[in-house]
Structure 1
Amino acid sequence: MKTFRLITSGYADAATNMAVDEALFFSYRQNGSLPILRLYGWRPAAFSFGVSQDPAALFNFKALEACGTAMVRRPTGGGALFHNDELTYCIVASTEDLGLETRGVKASYGRITSFLIEAYRILGLEACFAGDSGVHGMDHKIADLCSSRNEEYDILIDGRKLGGSAQKRSKNIILQHGSIPLSFDRRRPEPCLRHPLPDVADLSTLLKRRIGGHETSEAVVSAFKSHFCADFLDSRLDRKEEKIAALLKDNKYAGAGWNLKRIDPMTETIHAYRTQAAMA
């Protein structure tokens, strides 16, 4: 049985959430500490979009400003997502930690995401991969939006895609994070987008009852334990991880350089951290 750090972060803004995810990825890569499952939420609500996407093609910037909604470029791929009432998960681990027999991205994505199918079954929902349902594909006119994609290992419930996941890799180290919408009100994000917002499924609608983050977290943790034969050590960011996250937030994820132009100050950020650490 493999021990994972379980980090329950609560709510944070968009730049903080992405900075923490990348800080944990960097820390694990450098130090080889325990693998991680992190659970968190977004407050205030925000958009995230894939590392290779053009935000000018996605968003109406005037509408974003008018409604006070932030956007952040993820370190991972995938399409644009609106994060509001949801539970987000982040896994940082090696292929060995996750028991992956192959290092192929596509196969590993399916193997990892399977734990969510188990979590939804615990909650009383029958889920499957889009590839198993025979309906995978995408509307290429609006493929920039995550909800318009039904790729092979996206999860469907009653034919509707629920949430989305994306991955970043460095050799055999994986960062995978994803969205589990608890409820969804399309009236806030829709005016901010340059494309019509497709159907967005959420747990409360599918369950026909209101579900909260605590109940969903319990199902996710239980499914993760079973799927990966894992044990958990309750944890939090250590001081070094907090410092890296703060540097990444200030120098990368809160800045227009990264979010608008994909200018990545990662090298300078880590150099600054190492300099500060040497002087401490």
Structure 2
Amino acid sequence: MAPAELRERRWRLVVSGFADAATNMAVDEAIQTVHARGEVPPTLRLYGWRPAAVSIGYFQRMAAEVDLDACRRLGYGYVRRPTGGRAIFHHVELTYSVVIREELLPGSVLETYRTLAGGLVAAIRRLGAPAELAGGEPDPRLGGEASAACFDAPSAYELVVGGRKVVGSAQTRRHGTILQHGSVLLDLDAELLFTLLRVDPEKRPAAVAHLRSRAAGLRELLGREVTWDEAARALPEGFTEALGVEFVRGELTPAERRLTEELVTTRYGTDAWNLRR
């Protein structure tokens, strides 16, 4: 299947740095809403999480997947994403989000995943890792059963290096607009991840070993330090190389900032959203 045709080549680049879990998800939704109104161009946003946090997919149950007592005790955040997928521990990573109207990036979910993955593949290769698309199904060489963790298995058109997942992404569509965001692993602490997820303690060592066989951070794969800033430079370069996108550096607009504050207060910072069944 051919990738979707990208119909808008001039994008805004927002490097927003580090924020807490509720703010990060609120900013992504705010950009999506304001872009849907035609007030801002397609946007690539790069960010990190402080404090580190667990996010769950829209359809997951927080209490069933995440050990909230462990998160609170260790000082980590938690949030429900507006996108689907499984749990992610946003720790040592670069997170990206892409917001673009469906008319500017037509095609199915898988087609648009594949188009955007082209930019991610080019970016990871610029960092020195031979990234490739995982394909439509988890790699059968990896075997085993999936856990609640996103990086347990590569999904359609996600990135692997040597069969191990390095980027996990999720997508949602609303108001005729695509929001896709994902994690570029710089490092992976599998033991800490499974301390924060609800896993039978007797099964935890096997789960840790299983995840390490399926996923890895770029620092392990490349055998060198890969900084957040280095990865943040590579991402837009990769999108330019693979998709022909021209980036204009920008900031959030006043409308996006106001909506972010509103969404933190009414949604992503509330137990009603994060803990709902």
- 2:12 corresponds to: 5
Find the aligned partners of 1:143 and 1:189 in 2 and give their Cα distance. 12
Equivalent residues of 2:45, 2:97 under 8 A apart: yes
| 1:25 counterpart (32, 48, 53) | 32
- The within-5 A match list for 1:27-106 is 27-98=34-105, 100=106, 103-106=107-110
Equivalent residues of 1:136, 1:151 under 8 A apart: no
Deviations 1:100-142 (A, max 9, x none): 4xx2112211121221111111112111122279716997854
Indicate how the Cα distance of structure 1 residues 132 and 176 shifts in structure 2: closer, same or farther if over 3 A, else same. Answer: closer
Aligned structure 1 segments of 4 or more residues deviating by more than 3 angstroms: 95-98, 136-143
- 2:203 corresponds to: none
Q: What amino acid maps onto 2:252 in structure 1?
A: L
Q: Tell me the SS of whatever aligns to 2:249.
A: strand
Deviations 1:30-74 (A, max 9, x none): 235311000011111101110000112211222222112111000
Greater mean deviation of Cα atoms: 182-191 or 113-122: 182-191
Find the aligned partners of 1:124 and 1:95 in 2 and give their Cα distance. 32
Equivalent residues of 2:51, 2:75 under 8 A apart: no
- 2:228 corresponds to: 213
| 2:272 counterpart (239, 243, 257) | 257
Deviations 1:220-249 (A, max 9, x none): 111111222111111111111100000001
Superposition deviation, residue 151 in structure 1: 1.7
- The within-5 A match list for 1:189-268 is 189-195=193-199, 196-197=207-208, 198-199=211-212, 200-261=215-276
Equivalent residues of 2:79, 2:268 under 8 A apart: yes
Q: What amino acid maps onto 1:113 in structure 2?
A: A
Deviations 1:165-193 (A, max 9, x none): 00011264210000011122234332121
Find the aligned partners of 1:80 and 1:134 in 2 and give their Cα distance. 17
TM-score of the superposed pair, with normalisation by structure 1: 0.86
| 1:165 counterpart (155, 169, 172) | 169
Q: Is 1:117 paired with 2:124?
A: no
Equivalent residues of 2:118, 2:243 under 8 A apart: no
Greater mean deviation of Cα atoms: 231-240 or 12-21: 231-240
**Residue identity (%):** 38
Find the aligned partners of 2:82 and 2:41 in 1 and give their Cα distance. 21
Deviations 1:14-33 (A, max 9, x none): 00000000000000112353
Find the aligned partners of 2:141 and 2:56 in 1 and give their Cα distance. 19
Q: Tell me the SS of whatever aligns to 1:179.
A: strand
Q: What amino acid maps onto 2:36 in structure 1?
A: R
Equivalent residues of 1:138, 1:148 under 8 A apart: no
Indicate how the Cα distance of structure 1 residues 132 and 64 shifts in structure 2: closer, same or farther if over 3 A, else same. Answer: closer
Equivalent residues of 1:48, 1:80 under 8 A apart: yes
Find the aligned partners of 1:95 and 1:202 in 2 and give their Cα distance. 31
Find the aligned partners of 1:96 and 1:215 in 2 and give their Cα distance. 32
